A and B are shown apart, each in its own frame.
Chain A
Amino acid sequence: MKGESFRIGRPWSRTLALLSLVVCAALAVPAPRVAAALPAIVELDIAKFAYTPKEITVAPGTKVVWTNRDESPHTVTSSDKKFASTGLDTGDSFEHTFSTEGDFGYLCTVHPYMTGVVHVHKK
């Protein structure tokens, strides 16, 4: 049993050592190390009264960020009210993290003919 706990302990202490290295490295060069730890991000534009691209497929846990490039306000409002931005002025962004699988249609409540869909599926 002692041997087993010894064997368990060694990789754990290696992990601890590795973790402290990562922390030190993260402190020294924060941006790339921290980014690697965050969920995937997909950025979309709202431009010329359209979500661009209109349809995307992402893995669960992906954060989707919409940014309004128009001079007119738009919203990102889920068809089933699961998520909803406020009115986005020029340059404003809205983000939502899709944790579960499914097809999530959305529209602009100011211009209801503007629609888009996020497909969330495991790869």
Chain B
Amino acid sequence: MDTHDPANSGAGMNRRQALRCLAAWTGTAVVWTVAGGVPRTLAATGGRTTIAAPDDALTFVQISDTHIGFNKGANPDVVGSLRHAIAEVNAMNPAPAFIVHTGDVSHLSKPAEFGTASELLQEFRVARVHTVPGEHDTIDNGTTGYLRHFDHDGSGRAWYSFEQGGVHFVGLNNVETFKQSTLASLGPEQLAWLKSDLAGVRSSTPVIVLAHIPLWTVWEPWGWGTADSSEALALLRPFGSVTVLNGHIHQVLQKVEGNIALYTARSLAYPLPAPGQEGVGEPGPVTVPAGELGKRLGTRTLSVVRGQRELALTDTPLDG
């Protein structure tokens, strides 16, 4: 909608032009809207405060892949990187309503890592941090250790939903169910739960889904996809505005499928290679030259305008 389109730069754009424009901005800060699932670029920005969202907009921040416990060359100070992000988010005016963390809170699922992460996340001056587990959070005993600190609703499950600002939020666990040599999946129990959960939501309600691994196949040889994502997307397709927020691949990518827009986010720990990057055989941490790391890590700010089925996103590097 044009009410918070300060540059009006998206007017008259068709979908192909918009996507080309989006592709050009990938990896930098970009503000844009989604109307009916088709994104339009608004303006580039170096900071979050340039989003001109109405007062009644729901604004929240996505962080991802903090990997608390990682201490190798690619980032010897992941705690420092998270604190950097916390300071920037705490300086936002107006403050975001809450934070979402799309998984890999810890690096090795160790109790001390979950404890440290839990304490650090409390430094965000927001009402709540909503998390979903990553595969690094379920290494030794499934979600047991993760849920000691991050059980959203006390149900003992790592999936949940909640309503806020007229938006239906769903948190999913797509890291724990897998067979040998296949992509991880949501699994039939969770898909059945998702179906019943969405049955009570009106199709005009914007839906935002949180899951660690992308809900589309980005690069199968590296496990960058979800085996049964098409079943989840089929359940989401009747809704007019669906936004899927993922982590896992430590870089900004996006895909639009009809009314469903899917985005991966930067990490706050270390960069990973581009999908199937030439000369790189595996998705291991990438060590970049000194001074470059902060440009490869970052956060995302999102605004949902009540009643307008619109979403504005800004991806901001830690050092931009």
Contacts and interface: CB of A to CB of B under 8 A. Distances in A.
Interface string A18-47: 000000000000000000000000000000
Nearest to A79: B180
Nearest to A72: B284
A107 B139 contact: no
Contact of B281 (A48, A71, A72, A113): A48
A105 B283 CA distance: 23
Contacts of B136: 73, 110
Nearest to B70: A71
Interface residues of A, number: 21
Nearest to A113: B223
Interface stretch (A7-15, A58-66, A82-90, A96-104): A82-90
Query: Chain B, interface size: which category?
Result: 20 to 34
A109 B107 CA distance: 14
B26 interface: no
Contacts of A86: 139-140
A95 interface: no
B221 interface: yes
Most buried by A among B74, B181, B182, B222: B181
B284 A48 contact: yes
B139 A49 contact: no
B236 to A, nearest CB: 25
Contact of A105 (B72, B108, B180, B282): B180
A56 B15 CA distance: 53
B287 to A, nearest CB: 9
Given A71-B72, A71-B285, A112 B181 contact: yes
A90 B178 contact: no
B109 to A, nearest CB: 6
Contact of B109 (A49, A50, A87, A111): A87
B174 to A, nearest CB: 12
A51 B108 CA distance: 19
Nearest to B139: A87
Most buried by B among A71, A79, A105, A111: A71
Contacts of A73: 107-108, 136, 139
Contacts of A71: 72-74, 284-285
A75 B285 contact: no
B194 interface: no
B166 to A, nearest CB: 38
A112 B182 contact: yes
Contact of B282 (A48, A109, A115): A48
Given A48-B281, A73-B139, A109-B139, A90 B180 contact: no
Nearest to A85: B140
Given A49-B284, A73-B107, A75-B139, A111 B72 contact: no
A90 B68 CA distance: 15
Contacts of A49: 222, 281-284
B179 interface: yes
Report the 3 A-B pairs with minimum CB-CB distance, sorted nearest first.
A49-B282, A87-B139, A112-B178
Interface of A: 48-50, 70-73, 75, 79, 86-87, 89-90, 105, 107, 109-113, 115
18 contacts: A48-B281, A49-B222, A49-B281, A71-B74, A73-B136, A73-B139, A87-B108, A87-B109, A87-B140, A90-B72, A107-B180, A109-B178, A110-B135, A112-B181, A112-B183, A112-B184, A113-B221, A113-B222
